[in-house]
Each structure stands twice: as structure tokens, then as C-alpha cells.
A = this chain, B = another copy of it.
Amino acid sequence: MQNLTVALDAMGGDVGPRVTVPAAVQALLHFPELKVILVGDRNIITSQLSQLGYSDHSRLRIVHSDQVISNSEKPSLALRHHLDSSMSLAIGLVAEGEAQACVSSGNTGALMALSRYRLKSLPGINRPALISALPTASGSKTWILDLGANVSCDAETLFQFAVMGSALAQEHLGRPARVAILNIGEEDIKGNDCVKYCADMLKQTSSLHFIGNIEGNQLFHDIADVVVCDGFVGNVCLKTCEGTAQFFLDKLKRKVFGSSIKGWIAKKFFSDLFIELETMNPDQYNGASLLGLRGIVVKSHGSADVVAFSHAIKEAVLEIKRQVPSRISERLETVLLERHY
């Protein structure tokens, strides 16, 4: 049977163990085959566990660390001074084969730097990338990468993002993923040199299902399964989604609470609606994965609550079951073979 152990950076995020420990317990209840290693302050974690009344130590163990990386820490300093931090030790457990995946809601830059240092990139991958999925109007998902791990990319790196995203999405979808480039127009002549060169490379790669360019207003239209862009554009895009959604939701709430619509049915209707709209923020609710490493690393939002952090653990479990790093390597090999012959 496949080993299914997830190492959790219990101290990461805005809240820390009060979120990560209950989320771990929820995940253990949900996946009977799962084991969890909680990395962080043993006293705090133990106290949280006893409050929750959880005592099945056959599936849960604690690795102690009294170092936490702050959100303002520079990645270079995290590498120099925080190799014993909860985040670093959690990633280390994956590198040593003690766990098959790591989840953290800590500092993204430090997570990227420590993951590259401890796990290394897959052969043929220049830079790991952050990926997450947006909902679409038809109920499907669109994966988008990179979301901020790489502020500038060349065409080759963008191409590798397409390979990685395509491998991940295909595992979810069970069919080849439609790949698009995020651009400022649908036509071939649109955009900067980088996206144009990447489009040329993708057109010549028959093992990827490239469908062309996609614009920001088409992201929710279920046209593509995977959308590639550099980390600057992807980060602005994802955060703009988040900001626009929040702006609409706030406007709607003010309008509803200031209205003459009263009564039980209306209240129920709106509270359902608000919950549904709020849980649509992909970064907040599903976590993002760092793809392209020799191991699985899932990044949860810093302000994630128990539900959101559980989602991130669930994503890690799915990626272990689907052996995502191996799938990416295989996909990369196919693409490289195609290029050489």
C-alpha cells in the first residue's frame, strides 16, 4: 500500500496551531489511511490536541521546532538562519522520505526557497511554479500558473509551466488538458515576445493540447483547463479576482442589509449565497501547489481558517495518490522526446 504521510508546518500562517491542529484532526478523520506529522512547538501542539480530545498517536506524531519564519522574512535570510524552523523541518521530512507531502501557510518566498534547497527541482525544470484553480461558469476548474514564485520568465520557463500544469490537470480531469497562454488578445500578433515565442513552442508540441491565447475576461468561461503566465501577471490576476469578488460581495451585503427585504426565506437565501460566493476565492480555499519539485509542497493562504487549511491537506493527499511529481517527469520526457525527433 502507498505511504500516505503529510508533514504540516503547524506554526505557519496568521493563526498557527489553533488552525493547523484542528485541520489536521479533521483530515485524519476524513482519510482513514492518512498519517500526519505536526512540526512545531510540542507544548502548544499537545495542548491543542488535548483540547480537541484527539489521542490516536498511531497516526499522528509531533516533531518539535521552536523556530518560526515570519511573513516579512526575506527568502535569502530564511535559508541562512531558519533551517531548523517548523517550515524547513516539515519540507525536510519530505526530502528524507518520512512524509510524501508538506503543507504550510507560512511565508511564500521562504517556502519556495527552502523547498528548492531541500527538495531540488525535477530534472528539466528551470523553476518551480505556484499553481491554483479558479472556478468556471460551468462548474469545472481552470488551473493557473505561475502565481508569484517567478516575477519574470522566459519563453522556455513558460513552456515548462504548460507541461507541469498539463500533467497536474490531466490527473484531476482524466483526459488531456486544454492549455492556453494568458494574453492581452486572442490573436497571434498580440502580447510581448515571451508569450509569442512560448506560443510557437506550444504549437509545435503535439503531446500538449494547446488552444491558443486567452484573455482575463475569459478565465471563467471554461475555455482552457490550464492557463500559463509569468508570476507577476499571475499574481496580479489572482489577487484582482480576489479583490473584485470581495468588492462585489461587500456591495451586495450592504445593499441587502440596507434593503426592505426581510423575513426568514430571504435571510436564508442570502446567507447561503454569501457563503457560496465567499468560498469561491481559490487561493483562500483550496491552497496553491508548488509544482516542479522532487516532492509535493502545498501552500495554504496565510489567513486560512480550519476549513481552508483542511482543503490544503486534502489537496496534498490527492497529489500523493496521483503521484504528481512522477506524472510531471513523464510528461516532460514525452515532450523532450518529441522535440528531439
Contact = CB atoms under 8 A, between A and B. Distances in A.
Contacts of A237: 216, 236-237, 240
Contact of A236 (B152, B182, B246, B251): B182
Contacts of A191: 151, 232
A200 B245 CA distance: 32
A251 B277 CA distance: 9
A242 B217 contact: yes
Given A151-B184, A260-B265, A269-B259, A240 B251 contact: no
A40 interface: no
Contacts of A255: 269, 273, 276
Contacts of A151: 184, 190-192
A238 B216 CA distance: 8
B231 A218 contact: no
B259 A243 contact: no
A113 to B, nearest CB: 13
A320 interface: no
Interface residues of A, number: 53
Given A184-B148, A232-B191, A269-B261, A219 B243 contact: yes
Contacts of A261: 261, 265-266, 269
B236 A189 contact: no
Interface in A170-225: 182, 184, 187, 189-193, 215-221
A235 interface: yes
A72 B72 CA distance: 47
Nearest to A135: B247
A133 B164 CA distance: 37
A252 interface: yes
A238 B240 CA distance: 8
Nearest to A182: B236
Nearest to A277: B248
A241 interface: yes
A220 B218 CA distance: 21
A279 B239 CA distance: 22
Given A220-B243, A220-B244, A248-B245, A184 B260 contact: no
21 contacts: A74-B189, A137-B247, A137-B250, A151-B192, A152-B192, A184-B231, A184-B239, A191-B232, A192-B232, A216-B241, A216-B242, A220-B244, A232-B233, A236-B237, A240-B240, A244-B248, A252-B273, A255-B276, A260-B269, A261-B265, A261-B269
Given A217-B242, A217-B243, A240-B240, 13 more contacts: A137-B247, A151-B184, A151-B191, A184-B239, A215-B239, A216-B242, A217-B239, A217-B240, A218-B243, A220-B246, A232-B233, A236-B236, A248-B248
Smallest CB-CB A-B distances: 9 pairs: A216-B239, A216-B240, A217-B243, A244-B244, A184-B235, A220-B247, A217-B239, A151-B192, A217-B242
